[in-house]
Amino acid sequence: MVIVLDLDGVVYRGETPVPGAVPSLNLLSQRSYSLFFLTNNSTRSRRHYAQKLARMGIPARPDQVVTSSHVTGCYLSERGAAGRTVYTIGEEGMAEELALAGLRVLPDDTEEQADYVVVGLDRKLTYARLARAYDQVRGGAAFIATNRDATYPIEGGREIPGGGAMVAALACATGVEPVTVGKPETHPWRLILSVTGAAPEEALMVGDRAETDILGAKRLGMRTALVLTGVTRAEEVPGLPEECQPDVVLPSLAGLPPLVEEWEAARQVRRPGVPKAFGTAGRAGG
């Protein structure tokens, strides 16, 4: 069974693990479930996130981490972009992942016309770089968004502007709508399923943001669990659109192992329908 987990607001907030996350994920790993960590945050590389998880007590390899920058690199590479040029609004991790995918990342002050402009979260974005990205798109570069998350959660229950804010600024200026690659588009989950060979019904997505984590996974027919340690509050769940309604709502990852065990037991005996844990206490809207 494949379990895909969002990071910010699900496994941790900033540099602090969410209560219950470390023992729950270690237990699932010990029981041989395939864990993947999927984040729309484009600022860091897969290697960085694996190291961060390890420091928190969650052993993880870089190939278990899927970032929106990595997905963007794969998306472009599959479309023949290897060796072509890209101008970025983003941080070091984005440039690293795009270079690993075979693209040539142009310097911030380049005068060369790029083939692509890729935009993600950039906490040091300047007006000069935004203006250069504008020139690149107006000059014919394809406009790609790693994600369109308006905000992301940090310590203390706060949210701050996310990559979607940078995307919106460039879209507003150029009048061009970008191709979005990260959640809720299905590219990230398709990549994970292709690597594992799992069918959608053999995979579970655990996230905190209904309009990205839950929506995208449901589009592929995956099971979904919404945790309340991040962006979405309990009182908001009943009002979510049908396409964003999760199969189950959990207070935190502490409730994940028993849920997974019951679902897996039901799947192994080919019992039809949704297992009890998905259909009783904690059911979305219930």
| Domain assignment of residue 199, yes or no | yes
Query: 102 with 122, same domain?
Result: yes
Indicate the range of 153-162, 183-192, 242-251 predicted with least confidence: 153-162
- Residues of 272-282 as b/e, b for ≥16 C-beta within 10 angstroms? eeebebbeeeb
Are 193 and 209 members of one domain?
Answer: yes
Distance (Å, whole) CA 136 – CA 91: 18
pLDDT at 156: 80
Question: Which residue range(s) make up the domain with 99?
Answer: 82-180
At 280 the pLDDT is 33
What residues pair up with 179 in beta bridges, in sequence order?
144
Count up the domains in the chain and report the number: 2
CA dist 147 and 216 (Å) reads 12
Decide which of 180, 203, 231 is a domain's last residue.
180
Q: Are residues 91 and 32 in the same domain?
A: no
92 and 31 in one domain? no
> Are 193 and 156 part of one and the same domain?
no
Same domain, 251 and 211: yes
Q: Between these two residues, 271 and 190, which has the higher pLDDT value?
A: 190
Shared domain for 191 and 147, answered yes or no, is: no
Mean pLDDT within 255-260: 96
Q: Which of 180, 200, 231 is the last residue of a domain?
A: 180
Distance CA 29, CA 22 (A): 11
Mean pLDDT of 177-206: 97
**In a shared domain, residues 87 and 105:** yes
CATH code (residue 139): 3.40.50.1000
Q: Are residues 201 and 231 in the same domain?
A: yes
- Flag whether 6 is in a domain: yes
Residues 94, 173 share a domain: yes
**What type of residue is 67?**
T
Q: Please compute, for residue 57, the number of CA atoms within 13 A of its CA located in the half-sphere on the CB side.
A: 13
Rounded to whole angstroms, how far apart are CA atoms 82 and 141?
Answer: 15
* CA–CA dist 204, 221 (Å, integer): 10
- Structural domain includes residue 208: yes
Longest CA–CA separation in the chain, Å: 62
- Residue 75 placed within a domain: no
34, 86: one domain: no
Domain-ending residue, one of 152, 180, 208: 180
Which pTM was predicted? 0.88
Asked if residue 61 is part of any domain, the answer here is no
The answer to whether residue 68 sits within a structural domain is no
Backbone angles phi, psi at 137, to 5 degrees: -65, -45
Is position 244 within any domain?
A: yes
Match 């992942």 to its residue by tokens: 97
Tens-place pLDDT, residues 35-63: 999 999 999 999 999 999 999 999 999 99
Which of the two residues, 282 and 18, has the higher pLDDT score?
A: 18
Tell me: do 104 and 175 sit in the same domain.
yes
Model pLDDT for residues 78-136, shown as the tens digit of each residue: 999 999 999 999 999 999 999 999 999 999 999 999 999 999 999 999 999 999 999 99
- Is 6 a catalytic site residue? yes
Model confidence at 151, in pLDDT bands (50, 70, 90)? Answer: confident
Structure token pair of residue 255: 């409730």
Q: Could you tell me if residue 239 is inside a domain?
A: yes
